[in-house]
Amino acid sequence: MTEQFPGAVLDILDAAGDRTVFEHAGREVSGAELLGTVRRAVSGLRQHGVGPGDGVAKLLGTGPGEFAAIIAAHVVGARVVGVRPGLTREQQEHLLRGAGVPG
């Protein structure tokens, strides 16, 4: 049986090694490279005190770094809210208040 999310994603990235797992804007990213990015993001989140149950809002695009940041937030057990670009400041604040994410 496969480990629950996000462990299964980390296992896939680890197994991929040097094989390309993400292509974005003409750039190819290997499983090992993406896994390294996830690990660095996990470390950064933990250094900033983010842990299980904390709310994390991501105002990000769709590239490999952004994907890694979202996976990292799940790894530390945070609740992740995606905020699409283009919202006004007032809309962002309203959305984040409703999601229980501190500003």
pLDDT digit string (tens) for 75-84? 999 998 888 8
| CA 90 centroid distance within chain | 24
41-77 pLDDT, tens digit each: 999 999 999 999 998 888 877 899 999 999 999 999 9
| Span 4-31, pLDDT tens digits | 899 999 999 999 999 999 999 999 999 9
Is-contact 65 51, C-beta < 8 A? no
Euclidean distance between CA atoms 67 and 61, whole angstroms? 9
